Amino acid sequence: MSTAPSLEQDVARLLFAFLDGNDRAAFERLVHRLAPTLAQAAQAAVSDQGLLADPKDIAGEWFSAVFIDTRRPVVMPGQPVAQAEQWIHDRAREMTAVIAARPLPGEWGYHDGLNQTPSAGTSTDAPCAPADAEQIYVTNVAFHRLDKLDRTILRSTDVDRMLPADVAERLSLTEDQVIDIMAGARRRLAALCLRPTTKGRQR
């Protein structure tokens, strides 16, 4: 009686077939077999780091790295799933640091790029304005300069639309703590976003 191969075994076999023999069909099967697992890993990394990035984009980068550069694959066939999941988490941390390091323009008016309407149990100290490309860019950079807990809570409430009580349960905090941290995070985000509007734009 045969047993189905484990995910690690199946992915290792498909990865080796592609890397060693340039088997494109094996790569397509690899994507089909591994994509759900990497999507879950990317979602966990995004939630853990409080990223605004789409988890599908992070998972897609792994497949792109394997497909484009077969001479230096991001994982070796030994434990491909575990290594791929670790790569996803490392990439999420790298994205946070890279985005936070980007420069902000000198001319800026506040825009709450996370959410046009405050979540339940929250308030914002700055007015909202219609989003444009620069405002979204500035909010994204400023958001990723917040600390991890601020990012995680704001992403949970404003992007994932979780209630403060649900966020509190997930993070082992009280609902009042979540609301207090959220309010402070929004003030800090507003302070990072606000820039003098009388000076010329700095590029």
Q: Are 30 and 11 in contact (CB under 8 A)?
A: yes
Output the six-digit token pair for 106: 């000198």
Same domain, 62 and 140: no
User: What is the SS3 assignment for 167?
Assistant: helix
Q: Is residue 51 part of a domain?
A: yes
Q: How confident is the model at residue 11 (pLDDT cuts 50, 70, 90)?
A: very high
Amino acid identity at 160: D
Q: Are 38 and 85 in contact (CB under 8 A)?
A: yes
Residue 13 structural domain: 7-100
Predicted confidence (pLDDT) per residue in 99-142, tens digit:
998 887 654 443 444 443 334 444 444 434 445 788 888 889 99
Show which of 39, 70, 100 is a domain's final residue.
Answer: 100
Distance CA 95, CA 100 (A): 8
Distance CA 20, CA 32 (A): 19
Output the six-digit token pair for 11: 């992915």
Distance CA 186, CA 113 (A): 11
* pLDDT value of position 21: 86
* pLDDT value of position 131: 56
Predicted confidence (pLDDT) per residue in 19-59, tens digit:
888 899 999 999 999 999 999 999 999 999 999 989 999 99
* pLDDT value of position 125: 41
Q: What is the DSSP letter of 6?
A: P
**Arithmetic mean of pLDDT, 184-202:** 69
Q: Is residue 125 part of a domain?
A: yes
* pLDDT value of position 201: 40
Same domain, 56 and 107: no
Amino acid identity at 108: W
Alpha helix stretches (DSSP H) within the chain: 7-21, 24-49, 55-68, 80-100, 133-143, 148-154, 164-171, 175-193
* pLDDT value of position 135: 80
CATH classification at residue 157: 1.10.10.10
Same domain, 94 and 110: no
Q: Is residue 1 part of a domain?
A: no
Torsion (CA) 110, 183, 173, 95 in degrees, nearest 10:
10
Residues 6+ apart with CB under 8 A from 196: 106, 107
70 or 195, greater pLDDT:
70
* pLDDT value of position 163: 94
**Arithmetic mean of pLDDT, 171-198:** 85
Q: Are 17 and 33 in contact (CB under 8 A)?
A: no
Residues 6+ apart with CB under 8 A from 10: 33
Q: Is residue 188 part of a domain?
A: yes
Distance CA 95, CA 84 (A): 16
Same domain, 174 and 123: yes
Mutual angle of helices 7-21 and 55-68, in 10-degree steps? 40
